[in-house]
Amino acid sequence: MSNALAFDLGASSGRAILGRLQDGKIVTEELHRFPNDPVQVGERLQWDLLRLYHEIKQGLLKAKHAGVEPASIGIDSWAVDYGLLARDGSLLGNPNHYRDRASEGMMEKLGEELGEAEIFARTGIQFLPFNTIYQLAAQSRAGSPLLESASHLLMIPDLLRYFLTGERYHEFSNATTTQLYNPVSAQWDGALLGHIGVSETLFSPVLKPGAIAGVVQPSVREELGIGPIPVYAIAEHDTASAVVAVPALERSFAYLSCGTWSLLGTEIDRPVMTDEARKLNFTNEGGFGDTYRLLKNIMGLWILQESRRAWEREGKQFTFPELVQLAGEAPAFAAFVDPDDPSFMAPGDMPARIRQYCERTGQEAPQSPGAIVRCILESLAMKYRYVLELTERLSCQRFGGLHMVGGGIHNTLLCQWTADAIGKPVWAGPSEGSAIGNLAVQWIARGDFKDIWEARSVIRESFPVTTYEPGASQAWEAAYEQFSHVTGLDR
């Protein structure tokens, strides 16, 4: 048996997953799961990064107590957020959360100063207000004492890996999400950094996914009583790891990584940096094996999660299965929203914002929790169709169906409605896509798999894939026209 340990950190929780290769299949065991709650401090929304590092050490201890010393370790997380280090290597404050409002308006300002076409030509990255470039520009122009004191900048998984190993490296898939990495020159873009007033010296070398990034350093080994375990720079953006785990049989495939965020796209050999891609606000993020992920970010199940929190504040307790059941009982196609409307970005009273959106667009606003959840799920399914069709157009491909991975596949209603909306099969699985992709890259790097296609074949044999066939095509076709009209996406 060949084992590996994956730390998979999402925007709401983290987990330590031990993987073993056994009898030609992958066997996984969850050793540790923990919440990842942002903390509001005054006007700032921040990550409790040292708590996350503590939980990583707890995961290592649980592996030890189970009598297992992992042959290697990999860490993946969400993208764009970063921490700053002082000259002595200590962390300068808690990293800001991407939903923090400190960078509001900066995307528009830099677009006016440099031109969106110039920024896209240098990076190929989708314009999102929380991208690293805008967070850093806001800090720089506010005269942040933390930024002025900083010696190094590291992304979230880079930071946690640094705490374990003492080695400072960036990793390719996460570096590309910053909108500061130039895929043509394959280096940090000095012109963009110069414009926002940030020194290139803050940035470290960029490792490709699968490179060894150090071993657990002596102080950690002494504290935990473990050995010098190798730590790999896997595909550290969690979506990049999830795409590694897509159990595709053909090289041309479309995927949807479905969770707090929904990311829909395809795997390509080189970035699509055309003017059409820019106008459609697609992104080209780095992947494993010198690939790129042509995709679009969609707001995802965040809207449902935040609605549930709003109802909890009112004293109404619902489990997610209960909400899905209520949605299934509500009238179909009663109202739609564009999940990517800016009003749904920040935390808050999401049901009220959904009703306001519907009233603003001339629709009857949903009132009950079931009607609101149905509106959310049907709108997501419709947006998936919209983005899938654009992905086909930009990549010059036609896809026979859609692979769904991630925790969102537990929502069977969303899976079925997505198949109905796109008029093609949906293949759902595995649910722990990011963790499995994390493990797979470690095994490829160590020679346990010869390449990503062998890994995908084994993943397909190891984890169940549920097929959802489309139905009621005429009703969904008419509803898609209604969705496109009320959201303005048909213009």
Contact 83, 135 (CB under 8 A): no
Q: With 70 as the cut, is the pLDDT of residue 325 above it?
A: yes
* C-alpha to C-alpha distances, 166 to 80, 163, 220, 227, 250, nearest whole angstrom: 22, 6, 10, 15, 40
Catalytic residues: 238
Q: What is the pLDDT of residues 39-68, one digit of tens each?
A: 999 999 999 999 999 999 999 999 999 999
pLDDT score for 472 = 82
- For residue 48, count CB atoms less than 10 angstroms from its CB and return exposed for 0-12, middle for 13-18, buried for 19 or more: middle
Beta strands 44-46 and 25-35: pairing type? unpaired
Closest of 59, 171, 45, 196 to residue 119, by C-alpha: 196
Q: With 70 as the cut, is the pLDDT of residue 419 above it?
A: yes
Architecture of the domain whose range is 2-238: 2-Layer Sandwich (3.30)
For residues 325-333, give the mean pLDDT. 98
pLDDT score for 491 = 85
Q: With 70 as the cut, is the pLDDT of residue 363 above it?
A: yes
Measured from the Cβ of residue 53, the count of other Cβ atoms closer than 10 Å reads: 16
In 333-483, the DSSP E strands lie at 402-405, 426-428, 466-468
pLDDT score for 1 = 60
Contact 487, 390 (CB under 8 A): no
Closest of 150, 154, 45, 48 to residue 96, by C-alpha: 45
**The CATH number of 246-429+450-491 is which of 3.20.20.140, 3.30.420.40, 1.10.10.410, 3.40.1180.10?**
3.30.420.40
Q: What is the pLDDT of residues 421-431, one digit of tens each?
A: 999 999 999 99
Element (H, E) at 276: helix 275-279
Tokens 């990584």 sit on residue: 257
Contact 20, 71 (CB under 8 A): no
Q: What is the pLDDT of residues 371-405, one digit of tens each?
A: 999 999 999 999 999 999 999 999 999 999 999 99
Q: What is the pLDDT of residues 265-291, one digit of tens each?
A: 999 999 999 999 999 999 999 999 999
Percent of the chain with pLDDT over 90: 99
Q: Where in the chain is the domain with CATH 3.30.420.40?
A: 2-238, 246-429+450-491
Contact 52, 36 (CB under 8 A): yes
Kindly report the pTM of this predicted structure.
0.95
In 130-221, the DSSP E strands lie at 152-155, 170-171, 181-182, 187-188, 206-207, 211-215
Query: What span, in angstroms and rounded, lies between the C-alpha atoms of 96 and 73?
Result: 26
Sheet harboring 230-233: ordered strands across? 25-35, 13-22, 2-9, 73-76, 230-233, 211-215
Closest of 224, 234, 94 to residue 161, by C-alpha: 234
Beta strands 73-76 and 230-233: pairing type? parallel
Closest of 13, 26, 153 to residue 442, by C-alpha: 26
